[in-house]
Structure 1
């Protein structure tokens, strides 16, 4: 691919162009955050040439470094690069809207489903969650724990998460993983590509201050009403996720099921349904906000949860963009992130056990179906929506577990 013109480097697009480009991606991008990055590269780097290969790789590195939904952050930044702040908003809305609408609709529909066939379909969706989370653990372990040191960090993270439980165990596992990375995970090459974004240092500092103010202030205001408590729970979940979409599962479980806002069966059924739709997995929040019992729920709950879970990652991205080229050259920062990413594998492994496996696999038949879904994803390279359809249909034929 040849060099880009000045217009291509600096944007000169418009929000409408960005919205429709990302709406297309939001409708067609199945397969999770890593697959999304491949779709973005094909559509926006190779075909539309909004940036070059080096700039795109640099952006992906930044979004993997930060907490939050990596693929959505990359899309947000590409929209920002192409058409400024309105372009960033257009990119987020276009990529997020299709799956958010589908999952909110599922929340309204699932609440009315009765009978053995309908309940069997919902149980099949829980088994999908087993297969998909197992696939995520398998894939992330290969890339993020390639040596003894990081594999050991992952195992310790599993133990810490299982033994302590809740948000304390999850956050503690990531923090200790980062500290262990400083000690055990030094080395490796530093990327050198640069990418210019229309974000000033002042704007970056403001974004970081807003992020911290919400992180610290929302828990103090949670008692002011259920709406603020809902926003606080989903904001905190979005702020503490390293490693992409599936890792948000235990954090959301702690913020919804553990609080009594939603049953575990409804949680796992929605998570299974989230595998059937394209776009970011964080839109699972729209289902949770719509399906939970306390008011605000329904459409209002879906909107609150959706904005809250995405907001911290976007604030951190805007805050980091003006400083990234300097920070990413620090060997200590790179080592800490290697350790934190290894801990993420352990965190997800603990979630695979509880609540996913414990909540879904209730018989040898369930285990066989979940294993078949896992093999279909890993060995046969089946698209996730095919596995969702197959296990949901199998659950409907078999009926609800006795």
Structure 2
């Protein structure tokens, strides 16, 4: 076996290790990548890692997945990148499909099946509020961004159609791009040399899936298009995914109940790997009427739909990013896109709370989860595990 193949094999083994141990969200993920892939293995330099992560943050799609794919691309080109994508997402995808199977089994065989989730449903909202707080402090730093965030919150709450979200993102980006003169000038050649192959691939699949779904009305194809479209539009990481999925699959299409959605999101907080794997849970339950085959198909179709567009886009942009980032309007637009994303996240917390009873129990569970995340070093999986155990004990006693 050549030295190159050994290096590729070792890289994939490290990706698998991360997929099984990276609990705690993007910050923990980055720290683990820095330690394992930069300091220990030397796949890339530290500066390259921050550069790649910054690039992934400004593209739609799952940031951690794009970062893993981009590192694989730098090491071994497209083939290794696609393999690393598969290795990274597969464990979490299987676990979340398993969670969907568990929910269906309990509902079919046990009265009050989701009683174990009595605590973790409001706790899920605590996680969203904590994510919103963390995201806002990082992304909203100007008066204009604050105003955009407030407008986005209002519109997302009162007009929460899945079709309104992309329009708000575009409007936010255009609004702040007009302030491009506030951005520092970057020296160097700004000429762009663009290879359009991956962009055409991304757009072609989007159009093809939408057209085929409209013609055939096949639910698995329609499901793929739904997730592929969402994966093409979501800026700001996994937490921003929640308002999209809740609006489209709970309120708009009613494939899941709010109770099922919150339970699945809470379970996802206790899983390693990419947060976007929650989509597999939603996809599986969206096709439960077709039995075991439907659950499996829905889960894997959702995973393919949500993860592929971000991968195509990172492969497209990474080739000319060094030139593109020198354009001030491009950098200025990010402020508005991020502010709108934060507004969507705030609205999501309110929308998810609406179906719950506004009683002291739920409010205390939300506040308690937020305080644990904010002021202690307890990991998300441990907090969720405590919530599940508390729910089981409560059900046994009462």
Which of the residues 344, 366, 370 maps onto 1:370? 366
Q: Which residue of 2 aligns with 1:3?
A: none
Question: 1:51 aligned to 2:44?
Answer: yes
Question: 1:221 aligned to 2:221?
Answer: no
Question: 1:302 aligned to 2:313?
Answer: no
Give the drift of 1:184: 4.5
Q: Is the deviation greater in 357-366 or in 319-328?
A: 357-366
Q: Which residue of 2 aligns with 1:209?
A: 200
Q: Which residue of 2 aligns with 1:92?
A: 85
The CA distance in 2 between the partners of 1:39 and 1:220, in whole Å, is: 41
* TM-score in terms of structure 1 length: 0.89
- Aligned to 1:359, the other structure's residue is in SS state coil
The CA distance in 1 between the partners of 2:181 and 2:149, in whole Å, is: 17
Which of the residues 27, 33, 36 maps onto 2:29? 36
Q: Which residue of 2 aligns with 1:18?
A: 11
| 1:282-297 matched pairs, under 5 angstroms | 282-292=276-286, 293-295=288-290, 297=294
Given that 2:22 and 2:28 are in contact with CA atoms closer than 8 Å, whether structure 1 keeps it comes out as: yes
Question: 1:242 aligned to 2:235?
Answer: yes
Q: Which residue of 2 aligns with 1:105?
A: 98
The CA distance in 1 between the partners of 2:374 and 2:181, in whole Å, is: 31
Give the drift of 1:369: 1.2
Given that 1:28 and 1:278 are in contact with CA atoms closer than 8 Å, whether structure 2 keeps it comes out as: yes
- Once the two structures are superposed, residues 167-194 of structure 1 have per-residue CA deviations (whole angstroms, 9 ceiling, x without a partner) of 232222211211221135753557899x
The CA distance in 2 between the partners of 1:50 and 1:130, in whole Å, is: 38
Q: Which residue of 1 aligns with 2:168?
A: 173
> Which runs of 5 or more structure 2 residues have no equivalent in the other structure?
none
- Once the two structures are superposed, residues 52-73 of structure 1 have per-residue CA deviations (whole angstroms, 9 ceiling, x without a partner) of 1221111111101110001110
The CA distance in 2 between the partners of 1:106 and 1:302, in whole Å, is: 11
Q: Is the deviation greater in 258-267 or in 48-57?
A: 258-267
* TM-score in terms of structure 2 length: 0.90
Q: Which residue of 1 aligns with 2:338?
A: 341
Q: Which residue of 2 aligns with 1:270?
A: 264
Give the drift of 1:213: 1.9
Given that 2:180 and 2:329 are in contact with CA atoms closer than 8 Å, whether structure 1 keeps it comes out as: no
- Once the two structures are superposed, residues 283-307 of structure 1 have per-residue CA deviations (whole angstroms, 9 ceiling, x without a partner) of 1122122222344621122111111
Aligned residue-pair number: 383
Q: Which residue of 1 aligns with 2:254?
A: 260
Question: 1:383 aligned to 2:379?
Answer: yes
Give the drift of 1:264: 2.3
Question: Aligned Cα RMSD in Å?
Answer: 2.4
The CA distance in 2 between the partners of 1:129 and 1:360, in whole Å, is: 12
Q: Which residue of 2 aligns with 1:5?
A: none
Give the drift of 1:85: 2.2
Over 6 Å off, 4+ runs: 190-193
Give the drift of 1:120: 2.3
The CA distance in 1 between the partners of 2:181 and 2:264, in whole Å, is: 40
Seen in structure 2, the aligned counterparts of structure 1 residues 12 and 326 have a Cα distance that, compared at 3 Å, is farther
